[in-house]
Amino acid sequence: MGRSVSYLNNAEIVLYFPIENEYNEDGEFDEDLSQINWDDMILNLTCEIKAKLPSYSECDEWDNRETRIFLQNNLCNIGISEYCGLVSLSVAPRENSYSEHWVREQFSVYHANRIKNTLQKILDDLGLNRLKKIGTFSNGEAVFESV
């Protein structure tokens, strides 16, 4: 059974982009350089999102086994996940226990949809080539095209 990259549970927005692995001069996969590349991309992404969306603050939580929540505000979580060079950046309303849960949830969904264009622009400005998911095969493998 195939699988695709994970994203936040109940995600309202999911953006996809590839990240290249690094190889040494012999053409072998270089785990250390690839990790540095990943950490650098996360740092740049975090800085840019916080600069454009100042209500978000850094955190280090996990939504499930594979999606790391690295930014959050009172309304939404922003998570990132990677599988075989495909990265998902997802935004999901935060769960809460407020008495006006339905109203707050609707406002969180509205907020997530409002920041979508900002996140797309940040990915473009960082030179990360966005992908659009166009379908999923019956074995779970997803198909993407460049945006």
The answer, as to whether pTM is greater than 0.85, is yes
115-126 pLDDT, tens digit each: 999 999 999 999
Is residue 56 one of the residues assigned to a domain?
Answer: yes
92-142 pLDDT, tens digit each: 998 765 545 666 678 899 999 999 999 999 999 999 999 999 988 888 788
> How many domains is the chain built from?
1
Q: What is the number of residues in the chain?
A: 147
Is residue 84 one of the residues assigned to a domain?
Answer: yes
> Which residues constitute the domain of residue 125?
13-146
User: How far apart are alpha carbons 23 and 30 in whole angstroms?
Assistant: 5
